Structure formats: C-alpha cells, structure tokens
Amino acid sequence: MAASKSSSAIEKAFGVLSLLRDSPVPLTLSAIAEATGVAASSAHATLNHLLSLDAVVLTEHKRYALGPVLHYLGAAYARGTPMYRAAWIEAVNVANELGVTAVSATTWDGRHLILNAHRGPGSDVAVPFGGGVPLAAASWGKTYYATTGEPLPEKLEAYTAHSIVDLGEFRDAVETTRTRGYAVDDEEYYPGVKGVSASVTSSHGYEGLIAFLGAKVVFEELGFSRIGERLARIADRASHTLGDTERLRLFGQV
C-alpha cells in the first residue's frame, strides 16, 4: 500500500511538472488542479512539496512555474551524456571558428531532445536548451534514419516550402547521408536557416547527433561540404572514442 501511494504521489508530481513545462505562462492552483484532474487540495499538497524542493516557484501573482532545481538536474544529465564527453567541446570550438551554432541532441519520447546549444560569434540562430525537434525533420531526421536503420515514416510533414515531403526523395537523402557521413538541411525546418548534422555512435549503437546551424548567407559563403566534412570528422572521432571502431580506419597501433 505504501509503495502504491508513493508511486501515485510521484506520478502526480511529474504530471504537474509536465504541465508547467508545456505552459507558456505560470499557472494558478485552480488551473493546475483542473488540467491534472485532481482536487484543489491534492494539487496544493503536491505543489507545496515541489516548492520545498525548489522544483517549482510561486510568483508574486500567486502563480506556479518551474523551479531552478530542474535546470540543475537537467544540465547534469546533458553533461553526463556520452556525446558531451566525446564531442561537445570540439564542436563548440569549430562553431566559434566558423561563426555558426552548435547543437547536440539525443532521441527521447519520439523526437530529438536538445541537450546543448552554443552560438558562435556572429551567429543569430538560437536553439532552446531542452527543446525538441520532430524525429523526421530536416537533416536531423535524415541522420537518425541513416544511422539507426529504423523504418522510414509513412508520412512527412512540411515545415517550410523547402521541406522534403516525398518519401522517395527522403529515402534517397537518407542513403546519401549514410554514404557521405553527414546530412544537409537546406531551409527545410526553418526559413532562412541552413544546417548540417552527423550521428554519434558507440559500441551500443546510436547515441544522438551533433549539428551546425546558421543563417542562409553563412552556408552559402562557406558551403555545405566544408562545414559538413568538419562536422563529420568530429562525429567520427567521437564515435571511435565511444567504442564504434568502424567509424575510423587507423594505421598502426593505438
């Protein structure tokens, strides 16, 4: 019985946190109770416990929002991923050199979860830490399907006028990504933004991806191939470090 009550309390707490995560504004007690389907007294008890842990905060207008401890825990998760240890610092250095935005992401809940984002000097492309990108979207989708071998989606969404929505064309792009080592985003997810992405793998398989994003003019000046090949080399080295020995051919003993 005690375990059941504990499980129920945890589910209620995560229900509240998820609700606040998805809300663009802080919420009142009554709004939280109504949205989660519990009595106001029960919601109040859950919120008080979360307040004591700094998992939520109470604004001056008596509304609830997410608290700082969640960022503290989330940042630790991002720093603890294999990709961060193996690839992130080098990706940031190259982003600073090229003037683009570096991003790392893993898959979670049927989408790409953004773990880290860094804007190089002059880059005006901002990416929200902790945000999500649809699984099949743009270069990230090509990278995911090229690496994992998962069945391609039955339908593709159009995010811009340049999005690939034809399954045959998408299949060809996935195969090109597999052969070339990186995928291209030619304004396929956001107007005016281009990018490249490459997968990071380990001895366990797909870990996630790293990407460079930038304004259209930046990629037109530097070229997809120059930026993509730099990114692919970072991903290959990181993957080899993580135990995927097929990503690099080494001559001699290590």
CA pair distance 90, 95, nearest whole angstrom: 9
Asked if 142 and 209 sit in the same domain, the reply is yes
Domain membership of residue 171 (yes or no) is yes
CATH code of the domain containing 21: 1.10.10.10
Asked if 121 and 188 sit in the same domain, the reply is yes
Domain membership of residue 232 (yes or no) is yes
Asked if 46 and 100 sit in the same domain, the reply is no
CATH code of the domain containing 171: 3.30.450.40
Domain edge (last residue) among 12, 39, 67: 67
Domain edge (last residue) among 11, 44, 67: 67
A 10 A CB-CB count for 29 gives 16
Domain membership of residue 254 (yes or no) is no
Asked if 114 and 215 sit in the same domain, the reply is yes
CA pair distance 127, 67, nearest whole angstrom: 21
Instruction: Say what the pLDDT of residue 250 is.
Output: 54
Instruction: Say what the pLDDT of residue 129 is.
Output: 86
Instruction: Say what the pLDDT of residue 246 is.
Output: 83
Segments in the chain forming alpha helices (H): 2-22, 29-36, 40-52, 68-80, 82-83, 89-98, 138-148, 167-180, 216-222, 224-241
Instruction: Say what the pLDDT of residue 176 is.
Output: 97
Instruction: Say what the pLDDT of residue 68 is.
Output: 96
Asked if 138 and 16 sit in the same domain, the reply is no
Domain edge (last residue) among 39, 67, 95: 67
Domain membership of residue 72 (yes or no) is no
Q: Tokens in use for 9?
A: 């309390």
Helix (H, G, I), strand (E, B) or coil at 153: coil
Asked if 109 and 216 sit in the same domain, the reply is yes
Can you give the pTM of this predicted structure? 0.87
Q: pLDDT digit of tens for each residue in the chain (254 aa)?
A: 444 555 588 999 999 999 999 999 999 999 999 999 999 999 999 999 999 999 999 999 999 999 999 999 999 999 999 889 999 999 999 999 999 999 999 999 999 999 999 999 999 999 998 999 999 999 999 999 999 999 999 999 999 999 999 999 999 999 999 999 999 999 999 999 999 999 999 999 999 999 999 999 999 999 999 999 999 999 999 999 999 988 765 555 44
